Structure 1
Amino acid sequence: MKFLLHIDKVFRDLLLQEDTDNDKKITKDDNGPKRFVLVDETTKAEKVIEGTYHLANLLQELAVLKEKKMELAEVDLSRIQEEPVDRISRKIREDYWNELTRTIDKKGLLQILQDEKTTNEIPTLYVSAKDKQGVKYFQDLEKELKNFKVSVLPEGYTEDYVATLNTKPGILALGLEQKLYSLQGVPFVVPGGRFNEMYGWDSYFIGVGLLIDKQLDKAMAIADNFKYQIIHYGKILNANRSYYLTRTQPPLYSSLLVDIVKNKIPDLGWLRGHLETVILEYNTVWMVQGGRLTATGLNRYKSGGVGMPFEVEPGHFDDVLAPYALKYNLPIREFEQQYLNRTIVDAELDVYFVHDRSLRESGHDTTNRLIDTCANLNSVDVNSFLYKYEKDIAYIIENFFNASIQIGDLIYTSQDWEAKAVARKNRMDTLCWNEKLSMYFDYDFINGKQFPFEAATTFFPLWAGLCSEQQAKQLVEVALPQFVKMGGITGSTQASTLNFPIDAPQRQWDYPFGWAPHQMLLWEGLLNYKFFDKAQEMVYRWLWLITKNAVEYNGTIPEKFDLESSSHKVFAEYGNVGTEFDYISKEGFGWVNASYQYGLQILNPYLKEELNKLTLPEDLFKD
């Protein structure tokens, strides 16, 4: 049924009555009557809309029509009464992915150049000198657009050169593709609405969601931009901004390729090109001794660059910088600026920031697990990802290239890559597995011992498939209960956070916060080892949390959650992206969107019904 309404009038009346805290949303925190009467302009029929969820849906539908400048329009009541699970999933599939899609081309740059993070006096786009087509395209565009500068990155640029760009930061070009009438940017999907850059590991999880939602072309475009970055910038970047040129992200490129080929077998030329680039990245980014490869035979995160990371807000490191400001007899803001600009160089402080930059390379920015120690650790997460690389490369060579492929002068066989995976598993069993505690721990290769921090990354070997059946059983039966809260697993156990000073900053990747990638990797790991009932439970817990917050808070889908309070109201560093919007959430948050769609693929029909009713997980899953 549809009601014909005066959109502006109903919109104003609804907000006046129900949005009592004036935040331009209708949420459980508002104190209105939670009952609104619609009157059809033609038939004068009435329809009563009741409850926070349905009133918020009405507000959202009206907001869409207002944006279309429609004065008198029909509102579809079925959309207002839509079941929560159906509505959330539909909006992700039909709206959110498109709202999060960007391109680096003429059309896309008009939006991107307005980004406050492009803080140069003249918004600047950096293009690799290797990209001859891109250099010409963007230099032609520079002549056409006003207040826009193109700068060509020299081949073989150094870390010192990258440091000079901190005074003139800008966006980095990504791939272009020839369409029927013009060159266009290869699309990418950003994490959230305030972002205009492509993030490394976010993009993998987003790709999982895109594949589920039958958007294969966009998932393949993510892979194409990964390939572009490796060829032109030497690595998959933390994100395509100038100050990330020395920093990569968790290696998930091969996993995206395998997900794509399991979805639909692509052109073998396309696949071969990507396989070559995956192997190039593996060899040149991850397996260089003294860089990200250590003498143990295992890997670490080890970002390049010197000094403070450019992207943080002034004051973020005050607790770290204060003793050094005192040492140099300077006010802290002045010391911060001089250190950032490298007019002051302090070797001891530089070591701290090697670890900090490496921590940000891990994607876990920040966690007490990695503060001031990251580059000293053979971390469980990166070695699980690289084990998966070795298995994925073996799988692709075996199944698509007759078990052997020649790249340049070298011949690679699936058997060789399987052997690499076995060797890594054996080293992780020796150095990272803790039989007594039934967990994997990062290995501190400087001090020759495990780093005793209980993190959700202990479940990554389940996802990668490197556990024995017995190790998997111990992880699920002994370790997992220590992380489980009502709405999923926390980034660390509470016990691990108690080892740090009570006045220390609350790190967003630690207890009590919950993140989509941790949940998704856990679910797949549980399925790998046939813990099907436990997978159903863990999926339900997280989807219940997302659904509950969307129902109670005007469709909010945030970056992360506080699992102690089962809320998106997070009080930790960096706030919570995805919670600030007027009237309607247009894009959700990338990997949370993906986790919802992925979880629904796993969840059985009975639990989906319970999810719509917001039945508490504790009422469904009892020991």
Structure 2
Amino acid sequence: MSSRVRRLCAGFGTSFLAFALTANAQPSPADQFGDLFAAVQEGHVFEDGKTFADAVPRRAPDAIMAEYAAKPPTSPTDLRYFVLDNFTVPGVNDKPLPPLREHIRTLWPQLSRDAVTPPPASSAIALPSPYVVPGGRFREIYYWDSYFTMLGLVADGRDDLVEGMIDDFASLIERFGHIPNGTRTYYLSRSQPPFFALMLDLSKQTDGTVRARRLAALRKEHAYWMAGESCARAAKACERVVRMPDGSVLNRYWDDRDTPRDESFAEDRATAKASARPAAEVYRDLRAGAESGWDFSSRWLSDPQDLATIRTTRVVPVDLNALMWAMEKRIEKGCKQAGDQPCTREFFQRAAARKGAIDRYMWQSRQRRFADWLLDESTPGSVQSSATLFPLFVGMASPAQTTAIAATTRRALLGEGGIRTTILRTGQQWDAPNGWAPLQWVALEGLHRGGQDALAKDVAARWLGTVNCTYLETGKMLEKYDVEERRAGGGGEYPLQDGFGWTNGVTAAILERYPALVPGTTLRTCAPTSGSEQ
């Protein structure tokens, strides 16, 4: 009797011994894989116990068990990766997957939509040109998602869709004065992080009339964000404008309505009921949190563990103000090209004043980060988040600030699988351990712009590894990821979505920039390695 059979006999008793010695006996999966089989089944790695029993080993069982004995997986995630790397599991990884970049190219037609004229009484808003949706429950175009989706469309030569989506957004500004959160009537009372100016950087349009129309739309969007400027007073806010203690002007997120969101009606009423504040205040802050795109995050909470303490409208966000600076610089450039000197002077001054205010109130030199500003406390916020990278991304950070933030990124924000959203675990989806495609691009582009090329490439490689590992396991591109365990992300008020527009876009753009980082086709390197992110 072989030593392996004796070991299995010891584990399974004399009944197995009698069976194993029968001349025509065929070993079952439990016989062949002993401790590994027990760990998978008792750990419920797969929902149905029959799934692993029907799996087919990809190499000799003795080789699999030797590796398992030499280096046993230390977590459920490690165990699942080990199994998927060594077995073909029915319904999980039994269908061959195309390479990641090829898969993304097949998704663009699936996520593209023709110009829409909604039926009567529909909540959908009409658009004149074809566009791309994120996927899953997100059936309409979304504002800031679209910029990151466009990055991939440019990389894959779909300039037609890029130009069409820019025209769609210009049309929305012309009709409504701003780009709504998404193209539904229930989103009209708010916008999202203002990326229209950066979308224009992706355009190859040279027609002067079209460019003039888009510049006019950009100026109209700026007027929307600055509509509260005349009513904001010292250290006070009005609509989306905040007057800082020294009289300078910055922006905050705000929603024109103070009722539960249509798309999260029951959830918002439950949150308001759990708060001691007036319900209308809570609803406004929840809506403003949705306008931020970070819905929801400890950035907006006075108690990071309690959504009912949300106070978005009392926070002056660094990322929003960096994007507003980028908008003002592009308006300045566009007006200069058009020969409009008064406009050129106005927006040069606006951008300079905004940068000065951001440096005074948000730059924390000792902590080596940009911070949100808390209106009620008149202090910088304590939550460390990847929003600190937005000034690098738009090009307004100084060389010293860039060097400092690069160090902070390495120390606090860089997880094994990419950039953490914040360093706090709260159960909210825009907190640790989640990482999101747009924030990876903001980080690596900002670091690259600031000359931190090695760190930028490291961020790209880690993120590609996470996306690829999850793709190999699930066959899907996901909305968000756990960048500490390199798996699907969690948290938030709705189930995890796949599709997924901005993940596709950022992944394609990274592969276009760093072609040598094309990920492999094995899960063998997917399991996290403790401490490797530092």
Normalised-by-shorter TM-score class: 0.7 to 0.9
- Aligned position for 1:196: 139
- Aligned position for 1:365: 295
Change (3 A) 1:454 1:239: same
Is 1:292 matched up with 2:240? Answer: yes
| 8 Å CA contact 2:147, 2:195 repeated in 1 | yes
> Which residue of 177, 185, 203 maps to 1:242?
185
> Which residue of 373, 377, 387 maps to 1:443?
373
> Which residue of 408, 413, 427 maps to 1:483?
413
The 5-angstrom pairing of residues 217-296 of structure 1 reads: 217-260=160-203, 264-289=204-229, 290-296=238-244
Kindly state the Cα deviation for residue 311 of structure 1 after the two structures are TM-superposed.
Answer: 1.0
Change (3 A) 1:322 1:254: closer
Change (3 A) 1:375 1:285: same
Change (3 A) 1:551 1:81: closer
- Aligned position for 2:349: 419
Question: Is the partner of 1:171 in helix, strand or coil?
Answer: coil
C-alpha distance in structure 1 between counterparts of 2:149 and 2:286, whole Å: 26
Is 1:599 matched up with 2:516? Answer: no
Question: Is the partner of 2:266 in helix, strand or coil?
Answer: coil
- Aligned position for 2:16: none
Kindly state the Cα deviation for residue 395 of structure 1 after the two structures are TM-superposed.
Answer: 3.4
231-240 vs 285-294, greater mean Cα deviation: 285-294
C-alpha distance in structure 2 between counterparts of 1:428 and 1:365, whole Å: 23
Change (3 A) 1:312 1:34: farther
- Aligned position for 2:320: 382
- Aligned position for 2:306: none
Is 1:208 matched up with 2:151? Answer: yes
| 8 Å CA contact 1:536, 1:602 repeated in 2 | no
Kindly state the Cα deviation for residue 538 of structure 1 after the two structures are TM-superposed.
Answer: 0.4
State percent identity of aligned pairs: 26
Question: Is the partner of 1:198 in helix, strand or coil?
Answer: coil
The 5-angstrom pairing of residues 129-528 of structure 1 reads: 148=119, 150=120, 170-175=123-128, 186-260=129-203, 264-289=204-229, 290-296=238-244, 297-312=249-264, 314-315=266-267, 317-322=269-274, 348-371=278-301, 372-398=310-336, 401=337, 404-405=339-340, 411-413=342-344, 415-494=345-424, 497=425, 506-528=427-449
Kindly state the Cα deviation for residue 102 of structure 1 after the two structures are TM-superposed.
Answer: 1.5
Aligned-residue CA RMSD (Å): 3.3
C-alpha distance in structure 2 between counterparts of 1:56 and 1:270, whole Å: 50
The 5-angstrom pairing of residues 522-537 of structure 1 reads: 522-537=443-458
| Unmatched segments (≥5 aa) in structure 1 | 1-19, 37-49, 61-79, 107-124, 126-147, 152-168, 176-185, 325-346, 498-504, 579-587
C-alpha distance in structure 2 between counterparts of 1:215 and 1:431, whole Å: 41
C-alpha distance in structure 1 between counterparts of 2:450 and 2:294, whole Å: 26
Q: Structure 1, residues 169-199: CA drift from partner, whole Å, max 9, x if none?
A: 6212222xxxxxxxxxx11111114332111
Change (3 A) 1:611 1:422: farther
C-alpha distance in structure 2 between counterparts of 1:318 and 1:523, whole Å: 38
TM-score w.r.t. structure 1 length? 0.66
- Aligned position for 1:10: none
C-alpha distance in structure 2 between counterparts of 1:597 and 1:274, whole Å: 27
C-alpha distance in structure 2 between counterparts of 1:57 and 1:366, whole Å: 31
| 8 Å CA contact 1:258, 1:392 repeated in 2 | no
C-alpha distance in structure 1 between counterparts of 2:271 and 2:283, whole Å: 13
| Unmatched segments (≥5 aa) in structure 2 | 1-40, 60-84, 230-237, 302-309
C-alpha distance in structure 1 between counterparts of 2:97 and 2:240, whole Å: 53
Change (3 A) 1:256 1:23: farther
Question: Is the partner of 2:502 in helix, strand or coil?
Answer: helix
Question: Is the partner of 1:174 in helix, strand or coil?
Answer: coil
C-alpha distance in structure 2 between counterparts of 1:104 and 1:561, whole Å: 31
Kindly state the Cα deviation for residue 310 of structure 1 after the two structures are TM-superposed.
Answer: 1.6
C-alpha distance in structure 2 between counterparts of 1:474 and 1:543, whole Å: 25
Question: Is the partner of 1:519 in helix, strand or coil?
Answer: helix
TM-score w.r.t. structure 2 length? 0.76
| 8 Å CA contact 2:258, 2:280 repeated in 1 | yes
Letter in 1 for 2:518: K
C-alpha distance in structure 2 between counterparts of 1:492 and 1:22, whole Å: 29
- Aligned position for 1:98: 109
Question: Is the partner of 1:314 in helix, strand or coil?
Answer: helix
Letter in 1 for 2:154: L
Change (3 A) 1:450 1:619: closer
Is 1:33 matched up with 2:44? Answer: no
- Aligned position for 1:134: none
- Aligned position for 2:101: 89
Question: Is the partner of 1:594 in helix, strand or coil?
Answer: helix
Letter in 2 for 1:192: G
Question: Is the partner of 1:514 in helix, strand or coil?
Answer: strand
The 5-angstrom pairing of residues 42-121 of structure 1 reads: 80=96, 87-93=99-105, 95-105=106-116
Change (3 A) 1:442 1:569: closer
